A and B are shown apart, each in its own frame.
Chain A
Amino acid sequence: MSSTGSATGIGAPVRRKEDQRFITGKGRYTDDINRPGQTYAAFVRSPHAHANIKRIDTTAALNRPGCIAVFTGEDIARDKVGALFCGWMITSKDGSPMKAGTHPVLALGKVRYVGDHVALVVAETPAQAKDAAEAVSVEYEPLPAVADLATAQSPGQPQVQADAPNNTVYQWHLGDKAAVEAAFAQARHVTKIHLTNNRLIPNAIEPRAAIAEYDSGQDSFTLYTTSQNPHVIRLCLSAFIGIAPEHKLRVIAPDVGGGFGSKIFLYAEETASIWAAKKVGRAIKWTAERSESFLADAHGRDHMTTAELAVDGNGRILAMRVKTKANLGAYLSTFASSVPTYLYAPLLSGQYAIPAIYCEVDGVYTNTAPVDAYRGAGRPEATFVVERLVEVAARQTGHDPAEFRRKNFIQSFPHQTPVIMTYDAGNYAACLDKALELADYRGLSLRKAASERKGLKRGIGFSAYIEACGIAPSQAVGSLGAGVGLWESAEVRVNPTGSVEVLTGSHSHGQGHETTFAQLVSQRLGIPIEQVTVVHGDTDKVQFGMGTYGSRSGAVGMTAVYKAIDKVVVKAKKVAGFVLEVPEESVDFDEGIFSSKATNKTLTFPEIALQAYIAHKFTGAQLEPGLKEGAFHDPTNFTFPSGVHVCEVEIDPDTGTTRIDRWTAVDDFGTVVNPMIVEGQVHGGVAQGVGQALLENAHYDKTTGQLVTASFMDYAMPHAHDLPSIQIAMSSTPCPSNPLGIKGCGEAGAIAAPAAVINAITDALGHEDIAMPATPQAVWRAAQKSPARLAAE
């Protein structure tokens, strides 16, 4: 027996199995795949934010060399193909359903944002497809556009969707308004802040891509696509779009180069391509250019919020009141409606015992790209509200910000918040203590003085975040409007020689499931990790699954594997009973060895696997041959990762440059399967959070609706030199709602970081008047203002 448990099991920093192929260029991404007779797609996109389409003339395009076909929205409509849709129904506070609007796959008479899909051109080569797309003549009647969230709901603004007066998708609320008002009336102190949660463009390294194929012999479709959840894509294309029944539609999401949420959704490009594949009778490949990714990938965040915190004379939080406008773009993307509602407001209690919370959210249409889930999805927005509010309240009431947090921490579990969630486990003070020590909080004043001597301003910022991961209990999300259940499935197939294939409905697009899932199997079955293969991302191989987002693959996906392993062990013990000639109940299985007190003989896992398949030691009447088990796991609760991140910045007031000098992350992810991978997730998350805080901003011109930041020349992604060395530590409490104790780690950094950075910058500046992104220009201007805390309102 080679590597087992300790070397490659849960908790071991195993090097990623998949990296051999990724770093040697052997990864197989959608664009690496080519199908016989393949053609290429290009999309005609709207140059206008808002316009009527008067006429589309495809004659010249069809005459271009290599052009095979041009399809418009009317062609698709004629085929009675369904429209794109949003799968989560949100009900307004007046009881009315959200105004879901229309979302045709290709525009029907109207375009609603720059980059909107007008026509699909199919040609023999990518260049010919682009040439023909340019030759499609579209006569637009430009309309006034609404691209400013602040004013989009005002009377008289252009209407984005006909069924949504004042561009309002819904007016939703959560919490006890009366209790909150009563608490504010009694408060000694009220802190009120206005926040912008800036709009982001996800920018996965691999752009979206698709290959759509129709087999007339089988009357079946195959779609290769850059998806985080191929089964969900198949379900949508079958049940809602009507492309084909599920058994006639195979969706493959091969290696995927990053998603961050943007590859959860069903987009127009793959939908139009799979429909067109049958029309042209050949495979169609589409690969987004980076410019198209900027324009037409679902964007993230984009909130405007007013938030208030009521505090008593002892520095205890009494209540919170939040009012948010959330920009949802021109159409509702697949899960757009849920992000600023049920993925946002239920997290507003943070790590704090807050007796009463009331939150109102307006979902708003604008003539901009659809906005949907992006790393953290609602939870970064909530944490930014909570941790800015708490920080400002501490400063205004004269409390040390760390101690103000500690004073208000939830102390015992389970804890029912006033906003749906029941936190099951955590130790917030332990994380804070460790963070204060690692960040050398005591030495801060000396470091501040040293910076001052250099003409620089130093500040420290805390972010004590919480998130809800392990998405999600199906019954709970169903009661909140979700159109699907959010369980996960797994199948564990043991081969006769004892190697194992794990089929999972989770999807790895950077998370390292091929390693971490194999670690679980290695530990449970006592076999070398090399003997385990993880299969995912193909609806013909994996029966069903809900995919990967919301840090769910460990807590939900691996638990499904865990349950399937349980069943494998039960069956294997039965086999062992026959082979060892002992009662099944007396068989023990530990570290890969089957034994029994009733005999001196032992058997290894591969020996039992072989016995299960040769079936010589038992009759068919006694036991079925083979060793293969499946399980579905539906979680009983969300998981609640938490932690404290501490950011220390040094600002050059002459230029406005913010340098992050120190970063301390103390996280409670529950059980850590692979600490190396988890640290990588923290690094990536912090990088994206720092990007949001300091650099990134999707900027639309308010009048024209043109995307100004439509390339990396203007959209500032974080570079390596923008980031500090990150000190990471764990302070874990196991999650009680799954057998592995896993909470999830994929989004934590992105959730924690923005508030930590802005709290540090405002500490350095001595006032609160700075918005994200805190660019050099913004910080320079803020540094001109005299330090003065916002007066309590």
Chain B
Amino acid sequence: MYAFEYLRAESLADAAKQLASKPDAKLLAGGHTLLPTMKLRLASPGALVDLGRVAELKGIDKSGNALVIGAMTTHAEAADSAVVKSSIPGLATLAGGIGDPHVRHRGTIGGSVANNDPSADYPAALMALDATIATNRREIKADAFFKGLFATALQDGEIITRISFPVPTKFAYAKFPNPASRYALVGVAVAQTAGAARVAVTGAGNNGVFRHAAMEAALGKAWSAAALNGIAADAKDMVSDIHGDAAYRAHLVGVMARRAVAAT
């Protein structure tokens, strides 16, 4: 790790101000990607603005027909939340399956979403649930937010404040973990709302999290695992690495999608 300046934000406005005050400052949420990267000397921000004490970024609420989770909510808090469990139980399950207990007690939903790791779990849930990401400047729909590998619609100085999930009629997430890292080798989130079915895939696509149109169409007609029979992903769009080549991942997308639907 190279030397850096540590700054602690006391409020959202303070965080924005501090972030703007240093040209190479980065926000520190749970730090579970950023800090290991810094330790390996692969990232060297000049300053970190710690969001850990910003009260406005915390908390889980039900607001109308939406579940609203503050950006600095840890995965463990989301997994254990009675509000999450009662409104979108599959989301609590997803949060409880991220990493290990250490990760879940430090890692945050805002950090995960902002980082948009192509193997992270939350981005698939946000896409499938048609969530809205609120920042200190605006609101962004999940479909417009995730823009490929580690890329998002966030602009310089923009800070995620909360995620709003319209409560669906059905939701589940099925993950096939990478044997080494336990990140998603393939993860599929499926959601049914009054109007439509949505399916989002993480871990597999060579351009990050994506929605699967054919599966959505099939599930829109009939919400059952059998409706997905014969539908996989296109191998040419899939990541290939030592843990799973494109054909295997394409196959697993189908398997995990059926298991997710079966779990709803």
Residues on A lying within 8 angstroms of B by beta carbon are: 127, 130-131, 134, 291, 654-656, 694-695, 699, 708-709, 712-717, 719, 775-777, 780-781
Q: Indicate if B80 sits at the interface (CB-CB under 8 A).
A: no
A291 CA to B42 CA in the complex, in Å? 13
Q: Indicate if B194 sits at the interface (CB-CB under 8 A).
A: no
Q: By the criterion CB–CB under 8 Å, are B179 and A775 in contact?
A: yes
Q: By the criterion CB–CB under 8 Å, are B248 and A713 in contact?
A: no
Q: By the criterion CB–CB under 8 Å, are A780 and B251 in contact?
A: yes
What are some 14 contacts across the A-B interface (CB < 8 A)?
A127-B1, A134-B41, A655-B252, A694-B179, A695-B180, A709-B180, A713-B180, A713-B181, A714-B180, A715-B180, A719-B182, A777-B243, A777-B244, A777-B245
Q: By the criterion CB–CB under 8 Å, are B179 and A776 in contact?
A: yes
Interface contact tally, CB-CB below 8 A: 43
Contacts of A655 in B (CB 8 A): 176, 252, 255
Other A-B contacts than A655-B252, A708-B242, A777-B248, 11 sampled, CB-CB below 8 A, are A291-B40, A654-B255, A709-B242, A713-B180, A713-B181, A714-B242, A775-B179, A776-B176, A777-B243, A780-B248, A780-B251
Contacts of B1 in A (CB 8 A): 127
Please give me the residue from chain A that is nearest to B183 by CB atom: A713
Q: By the criterion CB–CB under 8 Å, are B242 and A699 in contact?
A: yes
Q: How far is the CB of B203 from chain A (nearest CB, A)?
A: 13
A127 CA to B1 CA in the complex, in Å? 8
A599 CA to B104 CA in the complex, in Å? 73
Contacts of A714 in B (CB 8 A): 180-181, 242-243
- Mostly helix, strand, loop or mixed at chain A's interface? loop
Query: Which of B180, B245, B251 is the most central at the interface, judged by chain A CB atoms within 10 Å of its CB?
Result: B180
Q: How far is the CB of A141 from chain B (nearest CB, A)?
A: 26
A127 CA to B3 CA in the complex, in Å? 9
A185 CA to B126 CA in the complex, in Å? 67
Contacts of B176 in A (CB 8 A): 655, 776
Contacts of A654 in B (CB 8 A): 255
Contacts of B3 in A (CB 8 A): 127
Contacts of A777 in B (CB 8 A): 243-245, 248
* 8 residue pairs, one from A and one from B, having the closest CB atoms: A716-B180, A716-B179, A713-B181, A777-B248, A654-B255, A777-B244, A714-B180, A695-B179
A708 CA to B242 CA in the complex, in Å? 9
Please give me the residue from chain A that is nearest to B179 by CB atom: A716
A713 CA to B176 CA in the complex, in Å? 15
A503 CA to B143 CA in the complex, in Å? 69
Q: By the criterion CB–CB under 8 Å, are A712 and B180 in contact?
A: yes
Contacts of B255 in A (CB 8 A): 654-655
A131 CA to B252 CA in the complex, in Å? 44
Which bucket holds chain B's interface residue count?
10 to 19
Q: How far is the CB of B262 from chain A (nearest CB, A)?
A: 12
B223-250 contacts to A (CB < 8 Å): 242-245, 248
Contacts of A695 in B (CB 8 A): 179-180
Please give me the residue from chain A that is nearest to B181 by CB atom: A713
Please give me the residue from chain A that is nearest to B251 by CB atom: A780
Q: How far is the CB of A208 from chain B (nearest CB, A)?
A: 19
Contacts of A694 in B (CB 8 A): 179
B1-60 contacts to A (CB < 8 Å): 1-3, 40-41
Contacts of A709 in B (CB 8 A): 180, 242
Q: By the criterion CB–CB under 8 Å, are A712 and B181 in contact?
A: yes
Please give me the residue from chain A that is nearest to B39 by CB atom: A289
Q: How far is the CB of B96 from chain A (nearest CB, A)?
A: 14
A709 CA to B179 CA in the complex, in Å? 12
A406 CA to B93 CA in the complex, in Å? 49
A781 CA to B252 CA in the complex, in Å? 12
Please give me the residue from chain B that is nearest to A715 by CB atom: B180
Q: How far is the CB of A771 from chain B (nearest CB, A)?
A: 14
Contacts of A699 in B (CB 8 A): 242
A110 CA to B2 CA in the complex, in Å? 30
Contacts of A131 in B (CB 8 A): 2
Contacts of A130 in B (CB 8 A): 41
Residues on B lying within 8 angstroms of A by beta carbon are: 1-3, 40-41, 176, 179-182, 242-245, 248, 251-252, 255
A334 CA to B136 CA in the complex, in Å? 60
A291 CA to B40 CA in the complex, in Å? 9
Q: By the criterion CB–CB under 8 Å, are A781 and B180 in contact?
A: no
Contacts of B2 in A (CB 8 A): 131
A777 CA to B248 CA in the complex, in Å? 7
Contacts of B243 in A (CB 8 A): 714, 775, 777
Please give me the residue from chain A that is nearest to B245 by CB atom: A777
A656 CA to B41 CA in the complex, in Å? 36
Please give me the residue from chain A that is nearest to B180 by CB atom: A716
Please give me the residue from chain A that is nearest to B244 by CB atom: A777
A775 CA to B244 CA in the complex, in Å? 9
Q: How far is the CB of A639 from chain B (nearest CB, A)?
A: 36
Q: How far is the CB of B4 from chain A (nearest CB, A)?
A: 12
Query: Which of A134, A655, A695, A775 is the most central at the interface, judged by chain B CB atoms within 10 Å of its CB?
Result: A655
A236 CA to B248 CA in the complex, in Å? 50
Q: How far is the CB of B98 from chain A (nearest CB, A)?
A: 15
A775 CA to B248 CA in the complex, in Å? 12
Q: How far is the CB of A203 from chain B (nearest CB, A)?
A: 12
Contacts of A291 in B (CB 8 A): 40
Please give me the residue from chain B that is nearest to A714 by CB atom: B180
Please give me the residue from chain B that is nearest to A291 by CB atom: B40
Please give me the residue from chain B that is nearest to A717 by CB atom: B180
A775 CA to B180 CA in the complex, in Å? 10
Q: How far is the CB of B2 from chain A (nearest CB, A)?
A: 8
Please give me the residue from chain B that is nearest to A722 by CB atom: B179
Please give me the residue from chain B that is nearest to A697 by CB atom: B242
Q: How far is the CB of A774 from chain B (nearest CB, A)?
A: 11
Q: How far is the CB of B181 from chain A (nearest CB, A)?
A: 5
Contacts of A719 in B (CB 8 A): 182
Q: By the criterion CB–CB under 8 Å, are A781 and B248 in contact?
A: yes
Contacts of A715 in B (CB 8 A): 180
Q: How far is the CB of B44 from chain A (nearest CB, A)?
A: 11
Contacts of B242 in A (CB 8 A): 699, 708-709, 714
A656 CA to B181 CA in the complex, in Å? 17
Q: How far is the CB of B131 from chain A (nearest CB, A)?
A: 28
Q: How far is the CB of A434 from chain B (nearest CB, A)?
A: 33
Contacts of B245 in A (CB 8 A): 777
Q: How far is the CB of B239 from chain A (nearest CB, A)?
A: 12
Contacts of A717 in B (CB 8 A): 180
Please give me the residue from chain B that is nearest to A781 by CB atom: B248
Please give me the residue from chain A that is nearest to B182 by CB atom: A719
Contacts of A780 in B (CB 8 A): 248, 251
Contacts of A656 in B (CB 8 A): 248
Q: How far is the CB of A697 from chain B (nearest CB, A)?
A: 8
A695 CA to B41 CA in the complex, in Å? 28
A636 CA to B244 CA in the complex, in Å? 51
A524 CA to B123 CA in the complex, in Å? 65
Contacts of B251 in A (CB 8 A): 780
A411 CA to B15 CA in the complex, in Å? 78
A713 CA to B185 CA in the complex, in Å? 12
A143 CA to B57 CA in the complex, in Å? 53
Contacts of B252 in A (CB 8 A): 655
A714 CA to B244 CA in the complex, in Å? 12
A699 CA to B179 CA in the complex, in Å? 15
Contacts of B244 in A (CB 8 A): 776-777
A716 CA to B179 CA in the complex, in Å? 6
Q: How far is the CB of B196 from chain A (nearest CB, A)?
A: 27
Q: How far is the CB of A146 from chain B (nearest CB, A)?
A: 20
Q: How far is the CB of A548 from chain B (nearest CB, A)?
A: 30
A231 CA to B1 CA in the complex, in Å? 36
Q: How far is the CB of B260 from chain A (nearest CB, A)?
A: 13
Please give me the residue from chain B that is nearest to A699 by CB atom: B242
Q: How far is the CB of B22 from chain A (nearest CB, A)?
A: 21
Q: How far is the CB of A784 from chain B (nearest CB, A)?
A: 10
Contacts of B181 in A (CB 8 A): 712-714
A655 CA to B242 CA in the complex, in Å? 16
Q: How far is the CB of A61 from chain B (nearest CB, A)?
A: 16
Please give me the residue from chain A that is nearest to B185 by CB atom: A776
Q: How far is the CB of A783 from chain B (nearest CB, A)?
A: 11
Q: How far is the CB of B198 from chain A (nearest CB, A)?
A: 23
Q: How far is the CB of B184 from chain A (nearest CB, A)?
A: 13
